[in-house]
Structure formats: structure tokens, C-alpha cells
């Protein structure tokens, strides 16, 4: 299996969450009340799964290994664009979390901010994923030997195994820090 197989599978789950966010933004625009639980879970999903897990493997494994290769200018340009899109996704997700904290039923401007940021994320991710799926992942695999591909795949699995422990250790530490006087 190519090391991009798991990444493309992750794309399908991210697309499903983006579809949920799109539906939620449209529902709110039609006069619906904010579903704070959904927004909190969407923020957590994007931060943990899309960014930390998925983008973490892209940047920390695939892009790192591509840096060692003599890639074409086009592939280098796309990789740089992808990194910038990852940064934009992080910024938008942080803005969504902040807008959600400030949003109340009475504070319509903040509700509008939540919807606007959700729409920006909904616009960003499908284009980003299409760029990776159709114009980047498969072509750049040609730079690697089968052994290198297997090594990246193994590193990706190890990355995934550590991630859940990091996430929930941080959750516990956060609660411990809140409890301290």
C-alpha cells in the first residue's frame, strides 16, 4: 500500500465533517439556533483529526521526506501552497472557536461570525483535498523507492498510535490545571 492510501481515506472522513458543517451553517442562516455541541465537536475534529493527525503526517512525514528529494518546481510550489492552506485552516479553526465562545442567541453579530467562518472552512477544505488527491499525492510518490514508501507508511501508523495518548493526556492535564488554586 502506498503511504498516501491512509491519507486519502482520512480525506473522505474530513469531507463528511465538512458536509455536516455546511449543512449546519445553512441551517443557522435560515434562522436556526447555534448547535454549540456540534460546533465544539467540529472544532475538535478539525484541530485533532484534520490538522494534528492528517496534516501532521503530511507535514511531519511526507513533506519532510520530499524536502530531501530533488522535486520539480511545480511539485515544490504545490507543497508550499498546501502548507499555507494548512496554516489558514488552523487560523480559521481558532477563529471559529473564539467566535463560538462569544456567540449567544442574543449576540447576532457573533452568530454571523460563526457562520461566516464555517463557510470559509467549508470552502477551503474541498479545494485543498482535491489539490492533494488529484494533483499532488500520486505524482510525488514517484520520488520514492518502495522501501521509502513502506517506511513512511510505518511512521504514519506509529504517529496515529501516539496521537490519541497525546490528546487525552492534554485533556486530563487541562482539567488538572483548572482544578489547582
**Domain residue spans of the chain:** 4-179
Whether the model pTM is above 0.85: yes
Confidence of residue 63 (pLDDT cuts 50, 70, 90): very high
pLDDT of 8: 86
The count of other CB atoms within 10 Å of the CB of residue 80 is: 11
Q: In three state form, how does the secondary structure of 58-99 look?
A: HHHHHHHHHHCCCCCHHHHHHHHHHHHHHHHHHHHHHHHHHH
pLDDT of 180: 65
| Structure confidence by residue, pLDDT tens digits, 153-176 | 999 999 988 888 888 888 888 888
pLDDT of 101: 87
pLDDT of 104: 65
Confidence of residue 55 (pLDDT cuts 50, 70, 90): very high
pLDDT of 168: 83
| Structure confidence by residue, pLDDT tens digits, 67-102 | 999 999 999 999 999 999 999 999 999 999 999 988
Q: Is the pLDDT of residue 108 over 70?
A: no
pLDDT of 105: 56
pLDDT of 125: 98
| Structure confidence by residue, pLDDT tens digits, 8-46 | 889 999 999 999 999 999 999 998 888 989 999 999 999
Buried residues in 108-142 as b, exposed as e (16+ CB within 10 A) = eebbebbbebbebbbeebeebbeebeeebbeebee
Query: Is domain 4-179 given the CATH code 1.25.40.10 in the classification?
Result: no
Amino acid at each position: 500500500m502506498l503511504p498516501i492510501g491512509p491519507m486519502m481515506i482520512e480525506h473522505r472522513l474530513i469531507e463528511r465533517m465538512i458536509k455536516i458543517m455546511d449543512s449546519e451553517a445553512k441551517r443557522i442562516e435560515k434562522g436556526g439556533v447555534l448547535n454549540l455541541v456540534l460546533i465544539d465537536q467540529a472544532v475538535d475534529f478539525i484541530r485533532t483529526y484534520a490538522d494534528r493527525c492528517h496534516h501532521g503526517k503530511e507535514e511531519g512525514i511526507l513533506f519532510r521526506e520530499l524536502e530531501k528529494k530533488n522535486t520539480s518546481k511545480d511539485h515544490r510550489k504545490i507543497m508550499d501552497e498546501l502548507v499555507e492552506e494548512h496554516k489558514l485552516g488552523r487560523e480559521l479553526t481558532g477563529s471559529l472557536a473564539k467566535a463560538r465562545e462569544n456567540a449567544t442567541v442574543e449576540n447576532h453579530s457573533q452568530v454571523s461570525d460563526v457562520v461566516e467562518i464555517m463557510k470559509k472552512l467549508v470552502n477551503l477544505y474541498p479545494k485543498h483535498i482535491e489539490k492533494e488527491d488529484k494533483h499532488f499525492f500520486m505524482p510525488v510518490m514517484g520520488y520514492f523507492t518502495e522501501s521509502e514508501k513502506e517506511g513512511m507508511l510505518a511512521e504514519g501508523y506509529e504517529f496515529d498510535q501516539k496521537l490519541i495518548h497525546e490528546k487525552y493526556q492534554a485533556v486530563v492535564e487541562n482539567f488538572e490545571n483548572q482544578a489547582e488554586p
